[in-house]
Amino acid sequence: MRNTAPPKTTVHTETAATHAPLQSPCCPPSDRRAVVRQVRDLDDAQKGAGISLRQFARETSAARSTVQDRRRAVHDNGLPTEWADFLESGPGLRYSSRLVVCVLLFFCVRGKCSVELAAEFFEAMHMRRYVASSPSSLRRRLAQLLDHVIARGDRQFARMASTMVARDIVLALDENFHWDLPLLGILDVGSGFLFAERLSEGYDGETWAGVVRESIAGYNVCVRAVTRDGGSWLQTCADNLGIPGGSDIFHIQYGVCRATARPLALRESRAHKAVQERLHELAGVQADRARSEAAPAKVGRPKDWDAHEAKAREAVEEARAQEAEMARQREAMRSSIRALGDAHHPVDLTTGAPVAATEAGERLHEVAVDLCEHAARSDLGARAIKALNRVFGQIEDLTAIVAWWHQEVARQIATLSLSEVASQWVTERLVPALYVQQRIALARDASERTQLTALWERLKAELRSAESPWSSWSAAQREAVQGVALSVVKLFPRSTSALEGYNGQDALRHHHHHQMSETFRTALRVVRNYVVRRPDGSTAAERLFGCKPPDDLVDDLCENLRIQGRGRRRKRKPTPPLIE
């Protein structure tokens, strides 16, 4: 679905960015260093010449109460003298302002910290005498910061979208129900850019299609496919947009886990408990035997303690064998569930060869059959069988998305105008190798990461060999071919897990605060897109637009957001007794 809407100059925001005046004209800012110098002169004058506070105020043309308050403020900070000298200087003042901005931005906006906790942090750091850090002051600064963040996001969007090169994307669609209304989330799978989080009274296919069209307006993108969970309304949305909608392998695995993991875990737990009981019985038999042998011999036939102890040991071995069997069944089911995800790849991650759609379908079918066999041997019941039968219903959809990806690879490579031999080499060698490279960072554990790294090194050596077309291409042609190959590798839609992660964070935020204004939600989306960085140092906006912003958000906030100076000194009065 090609986006044909005219470019916009603002992000979808519900509130305009309004800023409070930086400084009242009737209350000019004072020189912090001059204040400290004045206090030190007063201390020296009183120690050396014995000048009183009143006389010093008269000689310096300052009000006595002002000098007295400044003196108390300088000495009442709880910090070492060396720290106070720095914080009272110009660089120290800028550091204090940046500290306030970063705490509000990263703890209160991106994190789930309240302004009350932030105020406690500044109190513990003895910063209350250098910045206004009461909860009320921080709330006012946070409101201004949100407006600045939204306005800065609008400016960055206008700059970066104007120079954006057309690109194809795959969207992840998902909704959550943590708030009063369903929250519809739309995210680019390749870059992780969050296009929209929209509260809506409905989430049918028509509503979803309208939200998708509205969210990508102004972006020079073409939506090629969507990945989704099992909701039929999302497939209706994809049909309305005229693009394929691939099933999310994560939700398929999650459905199987819900039906099988808990029963198998309970059986293993019961088997472990049975082992502990048999061991306790064995210990009891051994203790009884020791007491019997220590006591005087009784009349009659002695008890056959060897047989009793052997029987108890046999019971322990049977319980341990049952526990090992339960653990084996649970591990077999877990391995098969993971194999379901491993089979849903257009490239073989053990050889680096392309996997055709029919072969991918056969692999998925084999894993589904294996899952059913494990469930039958474990006697998991009708609920597990029903969940596993749904996997067979999703195989055709998963196979179709693999076939679509191979068609997309061929379509985009055809735009490079390469020879038949070169096109075949890119399709069968370069694209699969880059797919393997992309999967290294997404490996399940260290052993899989090591295996993929070794495979990538082997494939990379083959790509650079003298027989490959790569060696005969110019630097510009290599860059063009590699750019197209990388872009098409990122188009394979496997999972909505990135969007599920955002939904999980929203669930935690709802648990903490139970509400979120549209202003806060919009600012949070700007932070996620333009501030949060991956380990490679790139933001989601940089990956989507293909360019870096001209300035940093934190630097922009420190430059334009006015941070209040010293907090007001308040004498803490003790609570009077109820009865004197």
Question: ∠ CA(377), CA(380), CA(385), 5° rounding?
Answer: 95
| Residue pLDDT, tens place only, 190-206 | 899 999 999 999 899 99
| Residue pLDDT, tens place only, 51-88 | 887 887 887 777 877 777 767 666 665 677 677 777 77
Considering 15-19, 265-269, 303-307, 490-494, the range whose residues carry the highest mean pLDDT is 265-269
The token duo for 558 is 């420190």
Q: Tell me, what's the pLDDT at 125?
A: 84
CB atoms < 10 A from the CB of 441, how many?
11
Angle at which helices 249-294 and 382-414 cross, to 10°: 140
The CATH class that applies to domain 159-247+496-550 reads alpha beta
Alpha-helical runs (H) found in 441-496: 446-463, 475-489
User: How does residue 170 score in pLDDT terms, banded at 50, 70 and 90?
Assistant: very high
| Residue pLDDT, tens place only, 87-142 | 777 788 788 888 999 999 999 998 888 899 999 998 888 787 777 888 888 999 99
Q: Is pLDDT larger for residue 136 or for residue 21?
A: 136
User: How does residue 208 score in pLDDT terms, banded at 50, 70 and 90?
Assistant: very high
Contact 112, 106 (CB under 8 A): no
Cα separation, 241 vs 225, whole angstroms: 9
Entry pTM: 0.78
- Beta-ladder partners of 169: 223
- What is the phi/psi pair of residue 43, to 5°? -60, -45
Cα separation, 192 vs 539, whole angstroms: 9
Q: Is pLDDT larger for residue 313 or for residue 548?
A: 313
Contact 189, 170 (CB under 8 A): yes
Q: Tell me, what's the pLDDT at 22?
A: 37
Cα separation, 275 vs 321, whole angstroms: 9
- What is the phi/psi pair of residue 167, to 5°? -150, 155
Q: For the chain, which residues make up each domain, given as ranges?
A: 159-247+496-550, 249-294+303-409, 415-494
Sign of the alpha-carbon dihedral angle for 550, 555, 560, 561: positive
Cα separation, 13 vs 274, whole angstroms: 60
Q: Tell me, what's the pLDDT at 569?
A: 57
**Residue written as token pair 């049952």:** 322
| Residue pLDDT, tens place only, 339-374 | 998 999 999 999 999 999 999 999 999 999 998 888
| Residue pLDDT, tens place only, 146-163 | 999 999 999 889 888 888
Share in percent of the chain as helix, strand, coil (round to 5): 65, 5, 30
Contact 274, 319 (CB under 8 A): yes
9, pLDDT greater than 50: no
Cα separation, 178 vs 163, whole angstroms: 37
The token duo for 293 is 């042998």
- Show the beta-strand stretches assigned E in 193-253: 194-199, 221-228, 245-247
Q: Tell me, what's the pLDDT at 451?
A: 95
| Residue pLDDT, tens place only, 387-435 | 888 888 888 889 999 999 999 999 999 998 889 999 999 999 999 999 9
Q: Tell me, what's the pLDDT at 527?
A: 92
26, pLDDT greater than 70: no
186, pLDDT greater than 90: yes
545, pLDDT greater than 60: yes
| Residue pLDDT, tens place only, 304-326 | 888 999 999 999 999 999 999 99
Chain center to CA of 90: 37
Q: Tell me, what's the pLDDT at 81?
A: 67
Q: Is pLDDT larger for residue 189 or for residue 510?
A: 189
